[in-house]
Amino acid sequence: METKFRVKYYARKTLLTFLGPSELDEHNDPMAKLERERDERLGSKPKKPHTVHIPKRHFHSSHAA
C-alpha cells in the first residue's frame, strides 16, 4: 500500500510541477497540500547533511615544467 501511495505522490508532484498553478498562498497551494499529506502519511523527510564544496583540481599543460 505504501508503494502505491509513493507512486501516486511522485506522479502528482510531477504533474503539479509542469502543469500546476504558479506559487500560491500556503493554504491554497496544491504542492504544499501534497507535501502536508505526505508528511502525515509517511512522516517528514529526513534532513540532508550539509557538505562542503571542494573545487576540482585542474591540470593544464601550460603549467608543466
What phi, psi does 32 have (nearest 5°)? -65, -40
Q: Say if CB 20 and CB 33 are below 8 A apart.
A: no
Q: Is the pTM of this model over 0.85?
A: no
Ranges of each domain in the chain: 1-17+24-44
The tens digit of pLDDT for each residue in 26-48 reads 888 898 899 999 999 888 887 88
Question: What value does the mean pLDDT of the chain take?
Answer: 84
Residues 13 and 31 sit within 8 Å (Cβ to Cβ): yes
